Amino acid sequence: MAILKFRVYWEEDDAIYRDVLVKHTQSFLELHQIILKAFEFDQIHAATFYRSNDIWKRGREISKELYEKEYVAPPLIMSETGVGTEIIDTNQHFIYVYDFAKTWTFLIELIQVIKNADADLTLSYPIISRTEGVGPMQYGSKGLLGKNFADIEEKYDLSEAKDGFGEEGEEDANASDDGADSEDDTDDESGSDDGGFLEDSFEAY
């Protein structure tokens, strides 16, 4: 048995890639699943691999299933095809396409073959061994804060703040109004104008 180490690039930016390791006896279905996991995609859409060469020319398909489309030759089926059976040379390339409507495309290159004696057999393959770059988001776009934004939003209750002052601000305003009752009408109006300006400025953000 051998462990195959693949580098999976996002086609639109080769600085974004994931390294994954699979046993040579594992299927292309398992390779398909670990790639989607590595890029945090769901696993509900159509998908296919193409055997490729050094210039990324598409060859024989290894498909998740037989789809209603034209094939140059009948595709191999992922669940029935071992990854090792399609390794022709030590620098083998594949192209992986996910979700035919959006055609997410990844370029796959075999970068290392680890012999059984050197492999860590305590690990449960396939695994993700390296992550480089912020990957594309399957639905929508990733913000600069990424996943952390949800935690920040919850901590500071930003969803309520965007509508105006929170409860603390309202209490301060009420306290100010109580103090204003002992002042003349001019001061009272002035305090009201200041509060309106601050609130308008806050909402402008």
Residue 203, SS3 per DSSP:
helix
pLDDT at residue 53 is higher than 60:
yes
pLDDT at residue 151 is higher than 60:
no
Q: Which residue has the higher pLDDT, 35 or 69?
A: 35
- Rounded CA-CA distance 103/48 in Å is 10
- Rounded CA-CA distance 21/26 in Å is 10
**How confident is the model at residue 174, as a pLDDT?**
52
Phi, psi angle pair for 170, to nearest 5°? -65, -40
pLDDT at residue 149 is higher than 80:
no
pTM: 0.69
CB atoms within 10 A of CB 98: 22
The β-bridge partners of 20 are 6, 128
- Rounded CA-CA distance 198/203 in Å is 9
pLDDT tier, 116 (very low <50, low <70, confident <90, very high otherwise): confident
pLDDT at residue 199 is higher than 60:
no
Element (H, E) at 5: strand 2-10
Q: For the domain 2-132, what is the CATH code?
A: 3.10.290.30
User: What is the C-alpha end-to-end distance of the chain, expressed in Å?
Assistant: 60
The β-bridge partners of 22 are 4
**How confident is the model at residue 153, as a pLDDT?**
46
Domain range list for the chain: 2-132, 148-204
**How confident is the model at residue 1, as a pLDDT?**
81
Percent of the chain with pLDDT over 90: 60
pLDDT tier, 104 (very low <50, low <70, confident <90, very high otherwise): very high
